[in-house]
Every structure is written in structure tokens, then in C-alpha cells.
Amino acid sequence: MQKRVAIIGAGATGLTAAYELVKKGCCVTVYEMAPQVGGLTAFHEINGTFIDNVYHHIFTSDTYIIKLTEELGLGSSLVWATPKDAFYVNGISYPFTSPMDLLRFKHLPFISRILMGLLVLRARFVKKIPEDMTAGRWITKLAGKQVYEKVWKPLLIAKFDTDAGDISAAWIWNKFKLRGSTRGKNINKEMLGYMEGSFGKLYMALADYINSHGGIIKLNTKATAVIKNPVTGNWGVEYHAGSDCFDAVLFTAAPELFIEMAKETLPGAYINNLQKISYKSNICAILRLKNPLSKYYWTTVADSEIPFVAVIEHTNIVPTSVYGAHIVYLTRYLDPKDSMFEKSDSEIQELFYRGLEAIYPNFDRGDIMDVKIFRSYYAQPVIRLGYNKILPDITRPNTGLFLSSMAQIYPEDRGQNYGIREGIKASEMIMDYLST
């Protein structure tokens, strides 16, 4: 008899797990509260093509997403570029792409520039994850106080605000390791990949495969509860139109939502552990401009007076002709309880415009053709010191209920590649459970 599996969430992890399970003959139903697939990789139409609501790119080391893209016949849609980056601090945008740029980075004393470069290079060869100290302490120990205070502390505050001082060194270590591995033997160049027609193209292809191979994807459908039948041992998924019965359930959203949905079946100790995990939210603006801001793809902003942490000029790696405009993303991470998260779109736009005017004296508001504001409540898990000790298991033995979320991508940080990897992993664990 065909096994039935429910998957809650149609993001990278949920769709990948569904794809793998239908290939193995399972009858899969995916529940997604949004009107489209993709999760945090949502997209919209612009100039006859699609574009991601929030900036995305991949690295050459992202083997899981590259392999999946090729498997679905979309390999030719991946385009690769060598970007130019910058670092904005104290009113100056410094080129920040190559080791030579770092040597010219006058914001730091010369010896600190050397130590900062060595810090990133050494991270590639660190075997033991530094889980017993904070990022600030680890950076200071290896590269000195000035490197931390002048560069990484402002960036950690921009990413994690009030939790910046408690972030695990394991999180920043993996960031360094990832960026180093994308350069290979040529440390002067980094390759970034983008999918023509947005990464939504990948998730639509996954959805098409699932639908055409017996799976069901229910959009605009919010699952409200997951309940186990004590007699049959099966799982019921409740939603606005009723409920469905399954042999196993995979939940792929934030642990806080998992508690709300499955609290009747989860033991207290497991719930207490999940409650220790918190998230930062994100506000992302996407602007269509008549003229570019700079020659850089990514400008890191290390200035607490600027209301965003990065300027991503998407059309510095993708031709402007694709969108009929210059595309710029502005991003800001913040606590979900921060008052800024509740500001209106017009208020956020005004703050962001002022930030652009401060960084780019030639920026003209008359260049703005269009702007959209997107908010993500669960955007970034907060990887605090000791996070490895509260990392939740994907499943408890012999229950048939599985959790696979961004909060479990560790020590790597969130990202499409690892979301896909976790979807594959979850599908394998579900198949093992169903075969017993």
C-alpha cells in the first residue's frame, strides 16, 4: 500500500523532500499558506520575467542546489558572474573584493589588515568548530581588538542587534570558511551564481514534477494542527477545509510555529528546547532605478546611522536589459519586536532613501521608478553561544513526526543549498521510518 506523507511548507526543504519522496513512490501532500511555492525564496513578475522578492545568489561550493538544478534540466539557466564588492564605513566606500583591496583598507592599521586577511584564510583550515566562545572573543583572539571593534562588531550588531555579543564563533567561522572556499585557487576572484528568471524557476520546476508524479500541492492552505491518532498511530493534518490522514508528517517552518501546531503531541522537554530558539526578522526593499548607484554588486554597510546593512545592486551581475531598469536591494535585520518592523511601507521607504542619500551623494529620488517592501518574520535564526546544545533533532524515535527548519542548518548558515540538503536528509529519514 502506498505510504502517505504530509509536508508543511513549500520552501526549499519542503519541496525537495516532496520531490525525493514522490520519486520513491510515496503519496505526498504539501500544505503552503502562501499563494505560491518558494517560501523565503518568493518572487514576482517584472518586465515580463520573474525576480526574487529578496536578494539571492549561490556559490560554486553549493553543490546540492547545482546538482538539483541540473537534474531538473535547468542547468543552462544558472549564470555565473565575478562581482565587485565594497565596504562602507565612516562615509567612505572602500573596494573590498581582493586581498589587495584589503591591504588598501585604510580604516584599519596595516597590521590589522594583515591579521584580518589571515583570519579569513585560517578559517578554511580550522578543524574544530569554536563552539565554546563568542564570535567577538574569537575574532579578537585571532585578529586583534581593532579588527573586531571596527569591522565585525558593527556587522554583527547590524545582523543580530541586541544579541550580537552572544553570537557563537561557530557561526562566523563558517561564514569565513564558506567565502574562502568559493575562491578556490584564485583568491582574487569569487564566482556567484544566479538563475535567469529568478530562483523561483527552480521551485516551480520542483512543483511541476511533484504534481505530475502523483503529489498534491495545496497553496493558500494553512495547516493549523498536527494530531496523532492514538488507535491507528496515523497522523492527522487539520486545515480550514477539514483534515487529512498520513503515515508521517514533515514540518519545515520555524520551531515556534511547530510548537503551536503540534503542542498536543510534543513532550514538554522537547518544547522547552525549541522555545530557546529565536529568530531575527528582515525588511528588504527592492528598487527599480533609472541609473546605477555604483559599480559594486554588494556593498556592506558598517554604519549604525544607516538603516540598512547592505546595498545589493543586482544588475551589476545581471544585465539591466532583463528588467528594463537597475535593480537594487536594501536589507535590514532586526528583532521582530522592534518598532521599525511595524512601520508602514512609506515610512521605511523614507528611511531607506535618506540612507542612500548619505552613502551616494549623486543619488536622485527622481531616478526611482518603483519600490516594493517585503517583510520576513522568521528570517535568521539567532545562533547563540552553546547553540549546538539546543539544536533540535529532526525526529524523535518511532514517532513519524519530523521537523526540518533553518534553525537546524548548523554549523552552516541558512541558505538555499543547505535547505535542499536538509530536504534530502529528511526524505531519507522518513523513508527509513516508513520501511520499519
Give me the amino acid identity at 111. Answer: I
Average pLDDT on 242-262 reads: 96
- Checking if the pLDDT of 393 tops 90, the result is no
CATH class of the domain comprising 4-50+199-277+392-434? alpha beta
pLDDT for 397 equals 65
- Checking if the pLDDT of 187 tops 70, the result is no
Arch. (CATH architecture) of 192-196+278-381: Alpha-Beta Complex (3.90)
Residues of the chain with CATH 3.90.660.10: 192-196+278-381
Q: What is the pLDDT of residues 102-144, one digit of tens each?
A: 999 999 999 999 999 888 887 777 777 778 899 999 999 999 9
pLDDT for 161 equals 82
- Checking if the pLDDT of 224 tops 80, the result is yes
Q: How confident is the model at residue 264 (pLDDT cuts 50, 70, 90)?
A: confident
Average pLDDT on 266-278 reads: 92
Q: What is the pLDDT of residues 285-326, one digit of tens each?
A: 999 999 999 999 999 999 889 999 999 999 999 999 999 999
Q: What is the pLDDT of residues 144-180, one digit of tens each?
A: 999 999 999 988 988 888 899 999 998 988 888 775 5
Highest mean pLDDT among 256-265, 347-356, 395-404: 347-356
Q: What is the pLDDT of residues 352-390, one digit of tens each?
A: 999 999 999 999 999 999 999 999 999 999 999 999 999
Average pLDDT on 254-262 reads: 95
- Checking if the pLDDT of 398 tops 80, the result is no
User: pTM for the whole thing?
Assistant: 0.93
Average pLDDT on 261-275 reads: 91
Query: Which backbone phi and psi does 322 adopt, to 5 degrees?
Result: -60, -35
Residues of the chain with CATH 3.50.50.60: 4-50+199-277+392-434
Q: How confident is the model at residue 182 (pLDDT cuts 50, 70, 90)?
A: low
Q: What is the pLDDT of residues 27-65, one digit of tens each?
A: 999 999 999 999 999 999 999 999 999 999 999 999 999
d(CA 21, CA 27): 8
pLDDT for 204 equals 98
d(CA 261, CA 249): 12
Q: What is the 3-state secondary structure (H, E, C) of the chain?
A: CCCEEEEECCCHHHHHHHHHHHHCCCEEEEECCCCCCCHHHCEEEECCEEEECCCCCEECCCHHHHHHHHHCCCHHHEEEECCCEEEEECCEEEECCCHHHHHCCCCCCHHHHHHHHHHHHHHCCCCCCCCCCEHHHHHHHHHCHHHHHHHHHHHHHHHHHHHHHHEEHHHHHHHHHHHHHCCCCCCCCCCEEEECCCCHHHHHHHHHHHHHCCCEEECCCCEEEEEECCCCCCEEEEECCEEEEECEEEECCCHHHHHHHHCCCCCHHHHHHHCCCCEEEEEEEEEEECCCCCCCCEEEECCCCCCCCEEEEHHHCCCHHHCCCEEEEEEEEECCCCHHHHCCHHHHHHHHHHHHHHHCCCCCHHHEEEEEEEEEEEEEECCECCHHHCCCCCECCCCCEEECCHHHCCCCCCCHHHHHHHHHHHHHHHHHHHCC
Mean pLDDT of the chain: 92
